[in-house]
Amino acid sequence: MAEALLEVEHLKKYFPVNAGFLGRTVGQVKAVDDVSFHIRAGETFGLVGESGSGKSTVGRTILRLTDKTAGEVRFRGRDLHRIPEPELRSLRPKLQLIFQDPYSSLNPRVRVGDAIGEALLDHGLAPRGEIRERVLETLAACGLSSYHIDRFPHEFSGGQRQRIGIARAIILNPDLIVADEPVSALDVSIQAQIINLFRRLQETRGLTYLFISHDLSVVEHLCSRIGVLYLGTMMETASRDELFERPLHPYTKALLSAVPVPIPKLKRERIVLKGDIPSPANPPSGCKFHTRCPLAVGRCREEVPELRNVGSEHYVACHLV
């Protein structure tokens, strides 16, 4: 087994709920509640779940863009949340985030060439005289041309803006990229192009991805292993093939039943979950999925199922598996 680049162990991120004139803390939103997984160098780990499952908070907490409540995030064996600030700053280029909407992070008055090159300058990774050449190389690697270097963000389509977002990340030569719903806002044909770009960059630059998406069919095309998150808790992790061929958790089965299958004869029976995802401020007791699980039994309401290895690195948190 290749060495893990990133290890996440029992990660928790709770946000306080304040109320009243004095703003006293009256509760907690358990956005991430005991999440564990690892990513090996050069692989793509997909993190999936419905909106509100805590996927983005996992990504941001891993990158230490927000403090953790408990648990560990180790990058190359070191706990990222214990590294002193000055050292963390020099490590930042190695850990990059790509957003769903890169436009929101681009200054509309700054030419994209400058927006891409500024990070190199900020981190002192290249002398000013070399920046333009590095930006041109990176634009080309991301499928954009030299013509684009002096254009402004509003002159680009959604797919091109995502290429700019990717260029801004990869120009720093990162080891790990957290891509948070990077293709969700794009048309299906453009999604395929961006996924191919992610794949090509991984092959040529040895990148490692944490790919966050609500869409299992997107994750299927890019990820070698997948984790399924529900209400801030990991329900199942397995290799992509194992998860798609032998899903064990009732929640994973429900998500998979909604994924379109190209061969009509293989069509899965659709499992429609009742109700909405509960509030993370008041999560159900026992198994968090029990209020929507078609198989729930009495034990599920009381006992939290442990995430157990059922073989071949396939982990499931369900009393009935």
Q: Residue numbers of the site for ligand SF4 (CB under 6 A)?
A: 249-250, 287, 289-290, 293, 295-296, 300, 305, 318-320
Q: Which is nearer to ligand SF4, 213 or 233 (CB)?
A: 233
3-state secondary structure the chain: CCCEEEEEEEEEEEEEEEECCCCEEEEEEEEEEEEEEEEECCCEEEEECCCCCCHHHHHHHHCCCCCCCEEEEEECCEEHHHCCHHHHHHHHHHEEEECCCHHHHCCCCCCHHHHHHHHHHHCCCCCHHHHHHHHHHHHHHCCCCHHHHHCCHHHCCHHHHHHHHHHHHHCCCCCEEEEECCCCCCCHHHHHHHHHHHHHHHHHHCCEEEEEECCHHHHHHHCCEEEEEECCEEEEEEEHHHHHHCCCCHHHHHHHHCCCCCCHHHCCCCCCCCCCCCCCCCCCCCCCCCCCCCCCCHHHHHCCCCCEECCCCCEECCCCC
Min dist. Cβ of residue 295 to ligand SF4 (A): 4
Min dist. Cβ of residue 287 to ligand SF4 (A): 3
Min dist. Cβ of residue 10 to ligand SF4 (A): 19
Min dist. Cβ of residue 15 to ligand SF4 (A): 25
Residues 175, 151: contact at Cβ < 8 Å? no
Min dist. Cβ of residue 289 to ligand SF4 (A): 5
Q: Which is nearer to ligand SF4, 60 or 319 (CB)?
A: 319
Q: Which is nearer to ligand SF4, 20 or 298 (CB)?
A: 298
Min dist. Cβ of residue 258 to ligand SF4 (A): 17
Q: Which is nearer to ligand SF4, 68 or 288 (CB)?
A: 288
Contacts of 148 (CB under 8 A, 6+ apart): 112, 113, 139, 156, 160
Q: Which is nearer to ligand SF4, 222 or 256 (CB)?
A: 256
Q: Which is nearer to ligand SF4, 26 or 321 (CB)?
A: 321
Min dist. Cβ of residue 205 to ligand SF4 (A): 39
